Chain A
Amino acid sequence: MSDQSVQHRASYQLDCSINGKSASIPSEASKRLLAIIRDDLQLTGTKRSCEIGRCGACMVLIDGKPFNSCLTMAYQCAGKEIITIEGVAAEGLDPIQQSFLEEGGFQCGYCTPGMIISVKALLDANPDPSEEEVLEALSGNICRCTGYGSILRAVRRAIEARRMIPDVASVDTIKAIE
């Protein structure tokens, strides 16, 4: 058996991109991404809540898709683009975040980063989802405070808000043509 395929414990270097910036993070291959984000990178917007992927508070985007960072290990993130809540908006607030503000789609706010990540993943892939598609996309995000009513109102508002943005619209047009 080739020894080259054996990784040694002490020094796993996670090479990836975090919120648009390349990163080379000394870690353990099987360390949870959640711990790397919160403890090593001090990005505490991503939350620790159930730790078994059953609440969505730890949601991040990996190559544009939502993943529970409490279930994802470092070696599974090699070479990937990771977006946390801190990276959702290049500057200021993303229309999704603005919509949550305007509709009051949060109360204690602890589920909110994970919720917004899931909404972003949905709308980036599907800018005009049906109600059913919204429910499906958020089915893995638990909120204990709002009863989800204000969250759904925020999502509907975000769908409208993103329609208004010229460059988002043109990206969709390009995709449609392709």
Chain B
Amino acid sequence: MLLNRETSGGRWRIRPDGPAKVSGGLAYLTDMTMSGMLHGFVLRSEHPHARIISINTDEAKQISGVHAVLTHLDIPGFNGFGIANPDQPVLCSDTVRYIGDAVACVAADSPEIARAALKAIKVQYEPLPVVDSPEAALKSGAPKLHPNGNVLHTTAYSKGDAEGSFAECASIVEETYDTPRQMHAYMETEGGLFLTDGEGRLTVYSPTQHGLKDRMQLALILDMPESDIHVLSSPIGGSFGGKDELNVQPYGALLAIQTGRPVKIHNSRWESVRAGLKKHPMRIAMKTGIDESGRLIAHQVSIIADTGAYSTLGAEVLNFATEHVIGPYRIDNVDVKGVSVFTNNGVSGEFRGFGGSQTIFAMEGQMDRLAAAVGMDPWELRRINLRMTGDPGPFGQAIAQTDGALQVWEAVRKHPLWTERRSTAPQAPWLKEAVGAAIAMHGAGLGYGMPDTAGGRLRLAADGKIEALFGYEEVGQGLIASLSQMLIERFGFAEEDLRIIIGDSDVVPDSGSTTASRATSMMWQTLQRLEAPFAAKLLRRASQLSGLREEELRLGEGGIWRQEGSERIARYEELARASAEELSCDTTFLYPATSMKRIGAHFIYTYSAAIARIELNTLTGRVKVLQQYHAVAAGPVANPQGYLGQIEGGSSMSVGFALTEDAMMEKGLYAARNLDTYLVPSIRDMSGGIEVEAIEELPEGDEYGPRGVGEIGSVIVAPAIAAAIREASGKWVAQLPVRPEELQQTPPFIAKAVNG
């Protein structure tokens, strides 16, 4: 179904958080202020790699208006954080490993005084050689960035005998793909408000993708029980994976505790670029062979990921990448080796796609090259090798079976953008229009062996509101809207009946992180489990109240109604008042996982195929996206507006990944330091239309409901653009962002006398 407002009919709703967002009335956590508050700032390393000889805060402390200057000596608990492996120091003591490493923090009466205090902190560094690439880090004799060396994680997967099978191949393609250091560039930077109540309780107002996890990590750092820490974590002005880890929370917390005053932190963009996470740049070398009929025989892959200074989720991203370099294809002989390497290049971590953007660009690039090598239609080549329903997942693991791959493949095959794709007549001799397509399967959830908790609670509040409590966060994706819609459609509630409670660590259940395209799925699954028991409880109480039998009653807008006729027999407030006994249901379960005992192997996938039509200007070598079509097979659409928004928004991140975005670094220093040099797509870069088709059909008996669509749009467009560039120019693109210099040509009408 083509997804837009018209086709969605009554399912297209105004977001509950909409009015506050369009009026400017919504207070983001970085908008919050409190009287008496101090301003918190962090002093960050001057070098990408150095030993700290000494830190002298005496002068800084002397400045009038400065209330605290803290170093590693002031950390009561564990000086480290990191979701998977807490190897990133809160405040560095002896070594700094990237330009954003934190060395000290201050709280002062005003930002100006705080900045003066930062300047007055004297840190003596002994600069160390900068390890500025994975290759440099892997050389023998390279400086060791961590006690166990410079390798964070290695992966290996093999099936059959890839190396030996190349001999059977009629055609082999080898290529090395390089992808950029993409930045999340959420419009709201990191920050928040931190305060203590004088009785040992700390309140943290700070955006994060996982409030309960932040609480856990802060408890260890501050040496406090979790029950003494209250984290309020939504709403958020964008995250895209960049706010799952802690960022400024430890500093705000430490300063608030030290000073006894509220402390506000709000990162400048400069600081966010300097200190924040980035997508893993990857170098993916592939050697892939097919037989005469186009069947994939052998596929050999090596992945080198630049994970930067600390672990964060680098190992998990590499695991994901190892799985996704295989693609939605049947390949008999596979050999994948991956290594994630520490360097002094910032910190690479969680980023929408989680390794999918890089690997799908590479895999789809191989398929296009193979098709060209044998003169076969690239979409046909994919069909020959496409996974069939019933096939295991990329690692041979059991997965939730759907027809998704074939459905999206077919949708592209018959779409006019594809069927009418032969390059159109150019407006000028140097303009070329062309079309390219790509297909992908993208795993949702954290994968086997990872803590992938899900769950939620429904409750009839004392004031009669139907409360839904979940541990997810509203990062902009429409979580609140989707949850609200699910409740309305499943139970028959009116929107005014609802109170959605998220982002409050004191009250929400552990639903796991808002990541990995899992939240919508898990909310749906939670409601699937809670529907019958919660409805039953409400009806039972209504029955007790009214004397009518439960079978005669149903849930509806505002209260309980008769099944027959249209009489509301009790309002929800009346039900609430009728008894002091709490009426609630909750459930805890795990995100569906595969049985194969391979860490990170996925079970539930979203499938997509996309077409991109581009214009190439050979005078400048520049590429403009004119039009896109996305077919997405992700089960039922929970919230049409949200689904459409995720695909459209994701696609713009993919366009940026392909054409304009690169947080370039030189010797461990960022060359692009703000949004004037780090270029995300402007409205003109995305001004072509995007058509989104949601394919909802699932096999009978599928119990998993809607799959996540938060990431799939962001991993599929870059390879389609690369394919289109090949059509337009005859040139292969193996490095992103696309380099205009490679696509430039001398104008065709110039005489052969030209030396260019």
Query: What residues of chain A have their CB less than 8 Å away from a CB belonging to chain B?
Result: 38-39, 42-52, 54-55, 57, 84-86, 88-89, 93, 97-98, 100-104, 106-113, 116, 135, 138-139, 141-153
The distance in angstroms between the C-alpha atoms of A152 and B644, with both chains bound, is 14
Q: Which of A88, A97, A104, A143 has the most CB of B within 10 A?
A: A104
Give, as a whole number of angstroms, the nearest-CB distance from A30 to chain B: 13
**B686 on the A face (CB < 8 A):** yes
Bound CA span A146–B14, Å: 16
* Bound CA span A109–B235, Å: 10
The answer to whether A45 and B23 have CB atoms under 8 Å apart is yes
Q: Is B15 touching A104 in the complex (CB atoms < 8 A)?
A: yes
Assuming the contacts A44-B31, A148-B683, asked whether A101 and B237 have C-beta atoms less than 8 A apart, the reply is: no
* Chain B residue nearest to A100 in the complex (CB): B22
Residues in chain A near residue B687, CB distance under 8 A: 135, 148, 152
Report if B467 contacts A (CB, 8 A).
no
Chain A residues, CB < 8 A from B19: 93, 101
B14 partner residues in chain A, CB cutoff 8 A: 101-102, 104
17 contacts between A and B (CB under 8 A): A44-B28, A44-B31, A47-B237, A49-B675, A51-B269, A54-B674, A101-B19, A107-B238, A109-B22, A112-B21, A135-B683, A142-B675, A144-B186, A144-B240, A145-B649, A146-B648, A148-B681
Residue of B nearest to A44 (CB): B31
Q: Closest chain A residue to B270 by CB distance?
A: A51
Given known pairs A51-B268, A54-B675, the reply for A108 and B476 (CB within 8 Å) is yes
A93 partner, pick from B23, B675, B690, beta carbons under 8 A: B23
Main secondary structure of the interface of B (DSSP, over half): loop
Taken together as a complex, chains A and B put the C-alpha atoms of A107 and B653 apart, in Å, by 14
List chain A residues, Cβ under 8 A from B18.
100-101, 104, 106
Which residues of B have CB within 8 Å of A106? Answer: 15, 18, 21-22
Please provide the chain B residues from 219 to 255 with a CB less than 8 Å away from any CB of chain A in the complex: 235-238, 240
Task: Using known A-B contacts A112-B22, A143-B187, A144-B186, determine if residue A42 contacts B33 with beta carbons closer than 8 Å.
Answer: yes
Q: A45-B23, A85-B23, A110-B187 are in contact. Are A50 and B17 (CB under 8 A)?
A: no
B26 interface hit (Cβ, 8 Å):
yes
B189 on interface, CB distance cutoff 8 Å: yes
Binding site for A on B (CB under 8 A): 5, 12, 14-15, 17-28, 31, 33, 184-189, 235-238, 240, 266, 268-270, 475-478, 641, 644-645, 648-653, 674-676, 680-684, 686-687, 689-690
Measured between beta carbons, the chain A residues less than 8 angstroms from B650 are 147
Bound Cα distance from A122 to B454, whole angstroms: 46
Given A50-B675, A52-B675: A107 and B649 interface contact (C-beta under 8 Å): yes
Q: How far is the CA of A50 from the CA of B674 in the complex (A)?
A: 7
Q: A104-B645, A144-B187 are in contact. Are A109 and B684 (CB under 8 A)?
A: no
A86 to chain B, nearest CB (A): 5
Inter-chain CA distance A88–B645, complex, in Å, is 25
Q: Is the CB of A144 within 8 A of B185?
A: yes
Nearest B-chain residue to A42, judged by Cβ: B33
Centre residue among B18, B33, B187 by max chain A CB count within 10 A:
B187
Count contacts between A and B, CB distance < 8 Å: 170
Chain B contacts for A47, CB-based, 8 A: 187-188, 237
B266 and A48 contacting across the interface, CB-CB below 8 Å: yes
Which interface residue of A44, A84, A86 has the most chain B CB atoms within 10 A? A44
Chain A residues whose C-beta falls within 8 Å of the C-beta of B266 in the assembled complex: 48
Across the interface, B21 reaches (CB within 8 A) one of A54, A109, A135, A147, namely A109
Q: Give the CA-CA distance A135 to B687 in the complex, in Å.
A: 8
Q: Which residues of B contact A150 (CB under 8 A)?
A: 644-645, 648
Q: Is B684 touching A135 in the complex (CB atoms < 8 A)?
A: yes
Give the distance in Å from the alpha carbon of A149 to the alpha carbon of B692 in the complex: 11
Say yes or no: B649 contacts A147, CB within 8 Å: yes
Taking the nearest CB of chain A, how far is it from the CB of B585, in angstroms? 30
Complex contacts, A104 vs chain B, CB 8 Å? 5, 12, 14-15, 18, 641, 644-645
- In the complex, which residues of chain B have a beta carbon less than 8 angstroms from the beta carbon of A149? 644, 648, 686, 689-690
Bound Cα distance from A153 to B25, whole angstroms: 23
Contacts of B5 in A (CB 8 A): 103-104, 153
Give CA–CA (A15, B640) in the complex, Å. 48
Instruction: Check B238 against A138 for contact (C-beta < 8 Å).
Output: no
Q: How far is the CB of A98 from chain B (nearest CB, A)?
A: 8
Complex CA distance for A48 and B272, rounded to whole angstroms: 13
By the criterion CB–CB under 8 Å, are B28 and A110 in contact?
A: yes
Which residue on chain B has the smallest CB distance to residue A53? Answer: B676
Central interface residue in A110, A138, A142, A150, by most chain B CB within 10 Å: A110
Q: Known contacts being A49-B187, A49-B269, A150-B648, is A109 close to B26, with CB within 8 Å?
A: yes
- CB proximity of B481 to chain A, nearest CB, Å: 9
Q: Which 10 residue pairs spanning A and B have beta carbons closest together? A: A45-B24, A108-B476, A109-B21, A110-B237, A85-B24, A147-B652, A44-B31, A147-B648, A107-B476, A110-B187
Partner of B269, one of A50, A97, A141: A50
**Residue from B24, B27, B28, B651 having most chain A Cβ neighbours under 10 A:** B24
Instruction: Tell me the smallest distance from the CB of B237 to a CB of chain A, in Å.
Output: 3
Q: Give chain A nearest CB distance to B696 CB in angstroms.
A: 20
Question: In the complex, A106→B645 CA distance in Å?
Answer: 9
Name the A residues within 8 Å of B690 (CB-CB): 147, 149
Known interface pairs A49-B187, A101-B18. Does A144 touch B24 (Cβ–Cβ under 8 Å)? no
A93–B26 alpha-carbon span in the complex (Å): 14
Contacts of B475 in A (CB 8 A): 108
Report yes or no: A54 in contact with B645, Cβ–Cβ below 8 A: no
Beyond A47-B187, A150-B645, whether A89 also contacts B23 by CB under 8 A is yes
B649/A116 in contact, CB under 8 A: no
Cβ contacts under 8 Å, A112 to chain B: 21-22, 24
CB distance from B268 to the nearest CB of A (A): 6
Q: A54-B675, A93-B19 are in contact. Are A46 and B187 (CB under 8 A)?
A: no
Contacts of A143 in B (CB 8 A): 187, 683
Task: Name the one of A84, A103, A110, A146 contacting B649, with C-beta atoms under 8 angstroms.
Answer: A146
| Cα-based distance from A101 to B645 in the complex (angstroms) | 13
- Nearest Cβ in chain B — how far from A82, in angstroms? 14
A111 to chain B: which residues have CB within 8 Å?
Answer: 187
Given contacts A51-B268, A144-B186, A144-B680, contact A109 B645 (CB under 8 A): no
Q: Given A101-B18, A107-B478, A109-B26: A147 and B686 within 8 A (CB)?
A: yes
Name A86's contact: one of B24, B189, B644, B675 (CB within 8 Å).
B24
- Of chain A, the residue at the smallest CB distance from B650 is A147
CB nearest neighbor in B for A86: B24
Q: Is the CB of A151 within 8 A of B649?
A: no
Instruction: Find the B residue at minimum CB distance from A38.
Output: B31
CA A100 to CA B682, docked complex, whole Å: 19
A101-B19, A104-B15, A110-B187 known; A145 vs B476 contact (CB < 8 Å): yes
Instruction: Indicate the member of A43, A55, A85 with the most B CB atoms within 10 Å.
Output: A55
Q: Closest chain B residue to A103 by CB distance?
A: B5
Task: List chain B residues, Cβ under 8 A from A46.
Answer: 24
CA distance A109 to B186 in the complex (A): 11
Write out the residue numbers on chain A whose beta carbons fall within 8 Å of the beta carbon of B641.
Answer: 104
Q: Specify which chain A residues have a CB less than 8 angstroms from the CB of B23 in the assembled complex.
A: 45, 85-86, 88-89, 93, 97
Residue of B nearest to A153 (CB): B5
CB contact between A142 and one of B184, B187, B237 (< 8 Å): that residue: B187
Please measure, in the bound complex, the distance between the C-alpha atom of A42 and the C-alpha atom of B5, giving whole angstroms: 36
What chain A residues lie within 8 Å of B20 (beta carbons)? 109
In the docked arrangement, what's the CA distance between A10 and B611, Å? 60
Whether A109 touches B17, Cβ cut-off 8 Å, given contacts A101-B22, A146-B648, is: yes
Which one of B17, B680, B687 has the greatest number of beta carbons of chain A within 10 Å?
B687
User: A38 CA to B32 CA in the complex, in Å?
Assistant: 10
**Contact between B683 and A145 (Cβ–Cβ < 8 Å)?**
no
The reply to whether A116 and B683 form a contact with Cβ atoms under 8 Å apart is no
In the assembled complex, how far is the CB of residue B172 from the closest CB belonging to chain A, in whole angstroms?
38
Residue of B nearest to A46 (CB): B24
Check if B27 sits within 8 Å of A44, measured CB to CB: yes
B648 touches A55 (CB 8 A): no
By a CB distance below 8 angstroms, the chain A residues around B186 are 108, 110, 144
CA distance A88 to B25 in the complex (A): 12
